[in-house]
Structure 1
């Protein structure tokens, strides 16, 4: 038989359950509020993967860097003076050459025939000149003979006149006869004078009469010599002492006049041709000091020329090398060049971050406490190859992260692990 429970006991038990439930709900609500008010945990980043450097103060050298190749200061392309067929390549690139060294041989049958025809034309012109000279000499001799005859006739007429004058004084010759003799003397003198003038004119005009023939001889000879030179140029020769860099034709190839055949350069006189990013060329100028790294050593130089226009985002710069070339330096060798723009004293600077242009404001993470870094706006100024000037936002001794932190753009603070 069940014993009935006391109603007061049941009521007290139910009251305890309500109180416990209310206390449990209040505790849960309190914990929820506390948790909601807690700051989220900072994202972590491994410190060993970051590039952290210290801000410094001191001397600061502005530099820009470019890459390129070594090229000879003196390069000569030897071209074909006439069309021809490549018969033999005597030397290959890398061979040392002297002036007159035969590099390749060509042939041109038409040019051979042309040389023979030009020689015949020259010899024909020489023969015609000689024939004309002989003809003029013959004419001169005939006129000289006529002058001698005229002078002899004049002398005889003078002698005859003198004789008749003596006879006339004795009354043996009439006055009319004496006048006839005088007329003959005058006639003979005029003929002698005319013959002398004709001879002088012939001698003076010989040069004018020979000029066209002599010009023809000179023209034919020049044409012959030109074709002989072209024929000789079929044996392509070096025009300078140096190194054979390139042979741009092959055996059997037909080439036309003016085509580049071989390239010769002086390997002892090299210069660096480098290209610099157009954003870094604002202060580039001729005469600035430079250092060229050939991978086998460094050589000092100076900027000799800056291209006036940009191409492909870069600007060409020529650097004349002042010091001796390192071992292994040769044309077309890849090099790096560092050009010094200016030197500044007492400047706040840090190593160049991964991003940021000159005279701009960037965000860098700065170490603000042990194990924590915070985003800090930093204004940078002039930039160099390795360092950048700090204008404001940092002080000497600050440690900043220079790595690419774009993946943490959503956070202002990070925890170092």
Structure 2
């Protein structure tokens, strides 16, 4: 006879319920872990990354910019008058002396004005000499007149003195002495008047001659100007050097002030360097510079900083103090590095793609095995051309990825192979 046992069935139901509960908990835990699981780290080829190792030591801060070699002394020769270019005698690139004729110009009116000015000057010089002679004659006449009056006065004075004693003794009437005394006094007054007239005549002569000399100097300057304008129709270099430019053509009409030629001294060169406006704040006059002419490095120093910004850069003049290499010539393209300062005993690394001075970045740092990289925050300091100071976040010997990693911004880990 079979006996039905209800406790077995009940235990079976409990086991099933427990099993279902365990499965549910497992499903929930698996879902939770899957939900919180980080995305798989992407794999990146090592050859496609630019990496560098953090170092400690002296860091050289520099700024760099392109530039050109230019002559220290440049002379632009401009047209002084309206003229026509008849002939180009010397072409650019030739060596010229101060008296070398570069261009032949023509303007008949300038020549006529020069001749007229010369004739007017000669006429004025002749008039001045005639006036000078005439005034000298007048001065001599006045001196003679003054001398005659002075002689008459001296004679009258002596006669009055002699008659004074005779009148006192009663030898001659006193009225006669009084007349002689009066004549002496009158001649004395005339003497003073003639002396004053001589002084006035001298002042008049000096003033007239000064006015004539001023007019003569004006005419002489005008004649010199006209003569120079006529002479400059034969355009000369003015200085010894190399003819760099002749920006006119034969037959061309030129106006006063038009640049006709440029002459430079090739042996005395300087560099004009363009520094980005964001880096110019650290540049100062006197800082050492290395100028790369692509045929050698030339030492120099900053001599001038332009106050204006043009097209995002500032022009810096560099005085070259080293010997120029062969092939250095005006308008040669160069690269210049200006030394800002030397930082002793600092952590530094190559400048990352988006690293800015005194900023913060998140860089991928390689682990000890070198096959994984973890993103870490890094505090940056002062910058140079290719280097940047590390303030915090990295240690000496750490290897970091410096290339652009914006494609993996959502990942904090990379696999390197």
The answer as to 2:373 corresponding to 1:373 is yes
* Deviation, structure 1 residue 203: 8.1
Aligned length: 365
Q: Cα distance, 1:308 vs. partner? A: 2.7
Aligned to 1:392: 392
| Structure having the higher Rg | 1
CA distance in 1, matches of 2:136, 2:60: 88
SS of the aligned residue for 1:124 comes to: helix
Between the aligned partners of 1:147 and 1:352, the Cα distance in structure 2 is 100
Report the more deviating stretch, 317-326 or 128-137: 128-137
Partner SS, residue 286 of structure 1: coil
1:150 shift after superposition: 11
* Range with bigger deviation, 366-375 or 227-236: 366-375
The aligned residue for residue 6 of structure 1 is none
Asked if 1:83 corresponds to 2:93, the answer is no
Q: Deviations over 1:78-137 (max 9, x none)?
A: 222222111111222222222222221211111111112212222332343455456567
Which residue does 2:218 correspond to in 1? 219
Q: Is the 8 A contact 1:350 1:388 kept in 2?
A: yes
Q: Per-residue displacement from partner, 1:359-396 (whole Å, max 9, x unpaired)?
A: 11112111124422222221111111121111111111
* Structure 1 outlier segments of 4+, above 6 Å: 137-151, 198-203
Asked if 1:340 is matched to 2:339, the reply is: yes
Q: Residues 399 and 209 from structure 1, CA distance in 2 versus in 1: closer, same or farther, beyond 3 angstroms?
A: closer
SS in 2 for 1:365: strand
Q: Within 5 Å, give how 1:188-337 maps onto structure 2.
A: 204=202, 208-337=207-336
Q: Per-residue displacement from partner, 1:317-367 (whole Å, max 9, x unpaired)?
A: 211111011111111111111111111221111111122110111121111
Task: Structure 1: state its 5+ residue gaps.
Answer: 1-25, 159-174
Quick check: 1:364 aligned with 2:402? no
Note closer, same or farther for the CA distance 1:206–1:402 as it changes in structure 2 (3 Å cut): closer
Residue in structure 2 matched with residue 67 of structure 1 by the alignment: 66
Q: What corresponds to 2:161 in structure 1?
A: none
Q: Secondary structure at the match of 1:388?
A: strand
Question: What is the CA–CA distance in structure 2 between the aligned matches of 1:408 and 1:200, rounded to whole Å?
Answer: 108
Moved more, 291-300 or 385-394: 385-394
How far, CA to CA, are the matches of 1:232 and 1:343 in structure 2?
Answer: 58
Select between 123-132 and 92-101 the one with higher mean Cα deviation: 123-132
Quote how far apart the aligned CAs of 1:41 are. Answer: 4.0
> 2 CA distance for matches of 1:54 and 1:335?
31
CA–CA separation in structure 1 for the residues paired with 2:306 and 2:408 = 41
Match of 2:103 in 1: 104
CA distance in 1: counterparts of 2:311 and 2:334, whole angstroms: 19
Contact 1:140 1:202 in 2 (8 A): no
Rounded Cα–Cα distance in structure 2 between residues aligned with 1:80 and 1:237: 11
1:408 paired to 2:399: no
Calculate the TM-score normalised by the size of structure 2: 0.75
**Counterparts of 1:259 and 1:137, CA distance in 2:** 50
